[in-house]
Every structure is written in structure tokens, then in C-alpha cells.
Amino acid sequence: MTIMEAFVEDEAGRLFSAMRGARPVEQVSLTSSPTIEQAYAVQARAIQLRLEEGETLVGMKMGFTSRAKMEQMGVSEMIFGRLTDAMQAENGGAVPRARFIHPRVEPEIAFHICQPLSGEISREEAQRAVSGVCAAIELIDSRYRDFRFSLTDVVADNSSSATFALGASLPASDLAIESLGVAMSIDGQPVQIGSTAAILGDPWLSLIEAARFAGKYGFTLAPGQVVLAGAATEAVPIAQGSTVVAEIDELPPVSLRLA
Ligand code: OOG
Ligand code: MG
């Protein structure tokens, strides 16, 4: 094993255990300075460990596609993470608080993919490859102590992804998703208000960037998979027993409870 292979193996194992045990770890960047490609190699290996335990890949999440998120976390580059079936919660369902370290929730819009996507695509190609769009909740849970990280740290940590829930979807062609109102409430109290326009000025651009990442990192978004476009607003901590609802104008709402 090369030094680099050993680094990827060790960091992937460390982050995987932190996730499974819901126990925070120190940032990778405190002891090494990986490149972004090396950080994505750690992410891919940690996901491989989940697949070896029987999980399946169901899609991809984009991160830091809105200024609100970049400013909240002090990171200014777009990133992606991988989604597995075990991360998906039922709409209206509950996930146990004990599974997470310091969970936060954020409202997102998601794309259901119906044609393979990888590499450079046009906006029209992106639209043709989507069978439906829906409101989504992403529950993020950095595996790093105090939810603090550098760009490479968060990439290695699968971009903080932990759980997501999807609302019922509608055909994208029926909607102007470029600028829809977004609202998130916890236990009936509004906590964030925004617009899908906050996502790169146009959420379709997030899907175009997702396809570009897939091409760059050697995979294809497959029919049946889902892409989370990235939060339109800041993420908000959620306590045990609370219920979060995300609403996007013209789309059915989505909810999740932390049990
Ligand atoms: C990283 C994940 C960012 C988004 O929607 O922008 C993200 C984090 O904030 O911990 O999921
Ligand atoms: Mg997100």
C-alpha cells in the first residue's frame, strides 16, 4: 500500500466510525493537508465501506450552492456528496436523535433523474434528464467536533450528509423552479424563509454542476437516482422530539421528525 492509499484508508475508516458511532472526530486538516482530489478519494472510500455493508447508491447532493450556506460555514466552493438508500427517511417519518452528533436541517429542492448524466451538459439536457422535482429536507451532521471544518475536511466527510427526506414530486416542465418561495419551520415556528433563486441564481445550474462533478470524478448519475440541489437558506439545529417542515411554492411539502 502506498502512503497515499494508507492515508485514504485510515481517514475513510475514521470518518466511517465517527458516523456509525455518532461520535465527533478531529478535522483531517489538523494533521494533514490533502488536495481536494484526495479528499474526494476519502469520501469515495468511506461510501464504499457503506456499500460493503449492503447499502446502495441512490444519488448525489450538492453543497454550498447558495451564498447563505457558504457564509454560514465559511466555505466558498461548491462540493458534492453521495447519497445511499440508508440515508433516506420517509416523508413524514422519524429518525432517531441518537444516530447523530449535532444535527441541523435545511430546505432543498431535489431532482429525480431519468437519463444518465455525466460531464458537460446544457440546461436543456439537464431538463430532459429530470422526470420530476420535489421539496426536500436535508439533515446534515458533520462528523467533526463543533461542526467546524475546512473545504477538504467537509469533502472527506461526504459533505456532512446524514439523512434526507423527499416530498411528492411534480413534473419539472409544469413549474418555473428558477424562483419559487422556500420556507422551513420547526414545530410550527418559521425558522428560514428564502427562494430557490438563492441556489446559484437558478437551481438547474446545480444539476449541471452535479453532472460536471460526476464526469470529473468518474461516475454517472443513473436513471432512478436523485440530486439534492443544495440548501437555499442557512441550516438550523434541530432538537430531539422536534418536527421540521420544508415548503416550496407549488410543490407538496415534506416533513421529518427527530425521535
Ligand atoms: C456542508 C454541506 C452543505 C448544502 O446544502 O449547502 C450542504 C455543511 O454545511 O455542513 O449540504
Ligand atoms: Mg444540503
Residue 106 Cα, ligand 2 centroid: separation in angstroms?
6
Work out the average pLDDT over 214-242. 98
pLDDT score of 190 more than 90 = yes
How much is the pTM? 0.98
Q: Is the dihedral of CA 41, 55, 254, 162 positive or negative?
A: negative
% of the chain surpassing 70 pLDDT: 100
User: What single string gives the DSSP state of each residue in 73-126?
Assistant: HT--S-EEEEEEGGGEE-TTEEE-GGG-SS-EEEEEEEEEE-S-B-S---HHHH
Q: Whose CA is nearest to atom 8 of ligand 1?
A: 160
The predicted-structure confidence for 100-124, as pLDDT tens digits, reads as follows 999 999 999 999 999 999 999 999 9
Model confidence at 173: pLDDT above 90: no
Atom number in ligand 1 closest to CA 235? 9
| Phi and psi based region of residue 252 (left: phi greater than 0; alpha: psi -120 to 50; beta: remaining) | beta
Tell me which residue has its CA closest to atom 7 in ligand 1.
Answer: 63
pLDDT tens readout for residues 197-207? 999 999 999 99
- Kindly state the average pLDDT of the residues 177-189: 97
Ligand 1 atom closest to Cα of residue 66: 6
pLDDT digits (tens, 9 = 90+) for 30-88: 999 999 999 999 999 999 999 999 999 999 999 999 999 999 999 999 999 999 999 99
Q: Do the Cβ atoms of 86 and 92 come closer than 8 Å?
A: no
pLDDT digits (tens, 9 = 90+) for 54-64: 999 999 999 99
Instruction: Looking at the CA of residue 138, tell me the nearest atom of ligand 1.
Output: 11
Residue in 159, 192, 226 to alter for ligand 1 test, most ligand atoms within 8 A of Cβ: 159
Distance 93 CA to ligand 2 centre (A): 19
Mean pLDDT over each residue of the chain, to the nearest integer: 97
Ligand 1 site-directed mutation target among 72, 76, 138, most atoms within 8 Å of CB: 138
| Cell digits of residue 124 | 436543456
* pLDDT value of position 19: 98
| Closest C-alpha to ligand 1, atom 10 | 160
Ligand number with the minimum distance to the CA of 232: 1
More confident residue, 172 or 117: 117
- Residue 10 scores a pLDDT above 90: yes
Ligand 1 test: best mutation among 106, 192, 205, most atoms within 8 Å of CB? 106
Q: What is the pLDDT of residue 174?
A: 83
CB contact set of 170 (below 8 Å; sequence gap of 6+): 132, 133, 134, 250, 251, 252
Res. 189 pLDDT band, cuts 50 70 90:
very high
